[in-house]
């Protein structure tokens, strides 16, 4: 658990977690239910897209309510919030993968913009007391050699994914300002850890290495991301739920800037696989060069700081994928094969 020094102040009872069967949402649900963070109900609303998997939270099935539904469905969202007397919404549900947003952007606008707006409007009408909107550092665009994103950095999204998240952030902040609606926006850096869908860099490279397949590194491999373990992200969200200020934005960063190629090499080394498996492929269109997140506001206001050392978290993550081959084989069936073929075979 990440460190936070301030006494929790907010009393939250019945919580709706959207996207709670996805990668980060399920980490939140496992911690919240497993550690009894909320005295009332934890209700998970998830459309179970290709990225959602009930298995990720199945160990806690008896202690939560699961609703299979779409955040764009206003009637269902309204019924869910009123039936379960939801006072808190933690909103993870999204289309989350940049490469998919380049191949097919419309669903990103539908879920990330329209879906968020639908959820927000129903939450406002029904008097939800706290709406925590989970966003991303990608809304700030790309950095050069120096500096990091603060909450005051201008929005400059480059991919359709990032643009859809920025649009959603603006709507949430507009509700806070216009209606005094109690919302908070968080912007986190790249997450890693168990249960991440194997289209993203770290799990994809682990699985390709395990299978002896080529590891497709985009461009020159020198792009930099700021990595954070899901345990630290979820710990930050808990602090913000307890004591974050309404109407505010909080950046959440891992403080682990790494070049892609260095991560790929570390994975190969750990698994005892040859570097000859690396294949430099054509670059992602509009590829952001570097992200780095300044979390000073979260540290000074709420006393949070990340505690998982990157090399340890990466090792633990690699071992999780080694142990959980049946999990990743199942999620990679079907639709993923079609995506994979479109994404990589053309490069
Ligand atoms: P994910 O793709 O693993 O999970 C998304 C979840 O949302 C899935 O369970 C999916 O079924 C569900 N979902 C998608 N469309 C839906 C809809 N219309 N209605 C209901 N449920 C729907 O994503 P993730 O990586 O866990 O990201 C979660 C959130 O965190 C997203 O909002 C993302 O933008 C944000 N974020 C992610 C990262 C990261 O590194 N992965 C970093 C910062 C912020
Ligand atoms: O920064 C936060 C964001 O991090 C989140 O908002 C997104 O939801 C999440 O997907 C992630 O976006 P990225 O595009 O940074 O993550 P991805 O894992 O797709 O790529 C990480 C880096 O690795 C990026 O520079 C592209 C590169 N890459 C990725 C893949 C999948 C490769 O070189 N090869 C690959 O096959």
Q: How far is the CA of 156 from the centre of ligand 1 (A)?
A: 21
134, 237 contact by CB (below 8 A): yes
Domain boundaries, the chain: 15-192+228-255+290-308
What's the angle, vertex CA 30, arms to CA 229 and CA 314, rounded to 5? 25
Average pLDDT per run of 10 along the chain, which is 347 residues long? 54 97 98 97 97 96 97 98 98 98 98 98 98 98 97 98 98 98 98 97 97 96 98 98 98 98 98 98 97 98 98 98 95 78 72
Cα(52)–Cα(95) distance, integer angstroms: 10
pLDDT of residue 4: 45
Among protein residues, the one whose CA lies closest to atom 4 of ligand 1:
22
Q: Helix, strand, coil % (nearest 5) of the chain? A: 45, 15, 35
Half-sphere exposure of 88 (CA within 13 A, CB side): 23
- Lining ligand 1 with CB less than 6 A are 18-19, 21-25, 46-49, 51-52, 70-72, 92-96, 111, 115, 134, 136, 165, 188, 190-191, 197
Cα(89)–Cα(67) distance, integer angstroms: 14
pLDDT of residue 3: 44
Please name which of 134, 129, 100, 102 lies closest in space to residue 116, comparing C-alpha atoms.
Answer: 134
**Residues contacting residue 345 through CB under 8 Å, at least 6 positions apart:** none
**Residues contacting residue 304 through CB under 8 Å, at least 6 positions apart:** 2, 3, 4, 235, 236, 239, 295, 298
138 is catalytic: yes
pLDDT of residue 339: 81
pLDDT of residue 346: 63
Among protein residues, the one whose CA lies closest to atom 30 of ligand 2:
201
68, 43 contact by CB (below 8 A): no
Beta bridge pairs of residue 183: 131
> Which of 18, 21, 24, 74 is the best mutation target for the ligand 1 pocket, counting ligand atoms within 8 Å of the beta carbon and taking the most?
24
Catalytic residue among 161, 175, 195, 339: 161
Pairing of strands 249-252, 278-281: unpaired
Catalytic residue among 137, 232, 288, 294: 137
161 is catalytic: yes
User: Domain spanning 15-192+228-255+290-308: which superfamily?
Assistant: NAD(P)-binding Rossmann-like Domain (3.40.50.720)
What are 133's two structure tokens? 């909107």
Q: How far is the CA of 140 from the centre of ligand 2 (A)?
A: 15
- Lining ligand 2 with CB less than 6 A are 96-98, 136-138, 189-190, 200-201, 204, 216-218, 223, 225, 260, 284, 291
């Amino acid at each position: 658990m990440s460190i936070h020094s301030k006494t929790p102040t907010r009393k939250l009872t019945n919580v709706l977690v959207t996207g709670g069967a996805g990668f980060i949402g399920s980490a939140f649900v496992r911690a919240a239910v497993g550690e009894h963070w909320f005295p009332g109900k934890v209700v998970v609303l998830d459309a179970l897209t290709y990225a959602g998997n009930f298995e990720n939270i199945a160990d806690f099935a008896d202690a939560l309510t699961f609703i299979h539904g779409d955040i764009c469905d206003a009637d269902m969202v309204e019924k869910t919030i009123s039936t379960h007397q939801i006072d808190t919404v933690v909103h993870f549900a999204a289309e989350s993968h940049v490469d998919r947003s380049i191949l097919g952007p419309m669903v990103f606008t539908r879920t990330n913009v329209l879906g968020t707006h639908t959820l927000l409007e129903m939450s406002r009408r029904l008097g939800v007391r706290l709406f925590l909107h989970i966003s991303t550092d990608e809304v700030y665009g790309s950095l050069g050699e120096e500096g990091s994103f603060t909450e005051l950095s201008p929005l400059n999204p480059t991919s359709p994914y990032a643009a859809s998240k920025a649009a959603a952030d603006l709507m949430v902040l507009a509700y806070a300002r216009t209606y005094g609606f109690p919302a908070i926006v968080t912007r986190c850096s790249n997450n890693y850890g168990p249960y991440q869908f194997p289209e993203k860099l770290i799990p994809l490279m682990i699985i390709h290495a395990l299978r002896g397949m080529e590891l497709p590194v985009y461009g020159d491999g020198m792009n930099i991301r700021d990595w954070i373990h899901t345990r630290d992200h979820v710990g930050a969200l808990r602090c913000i739920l307890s004591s974050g200020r309404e109407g505010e934005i909080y950046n959440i960063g891992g403080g682990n800037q790494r070049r892609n190629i260095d991560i790929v090499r570390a994975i190969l080394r750990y698994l005892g696989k040859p570097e000859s498996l690396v294949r430099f492929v054509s670059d992602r269109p509009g590829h952001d060069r570097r992200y780095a997140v300044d979390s000073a506001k979260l540290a000074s206001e709420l006393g949070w700081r990340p505690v998982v050392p990157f090399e340890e978290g990466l090792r633990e993550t690699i071992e999780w994928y080694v142990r959980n081959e049946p999990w990743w084989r199942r999620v990679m069936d079907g639709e993923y094969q079609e995506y994979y073929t479109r994404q990589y075979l053309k490069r």
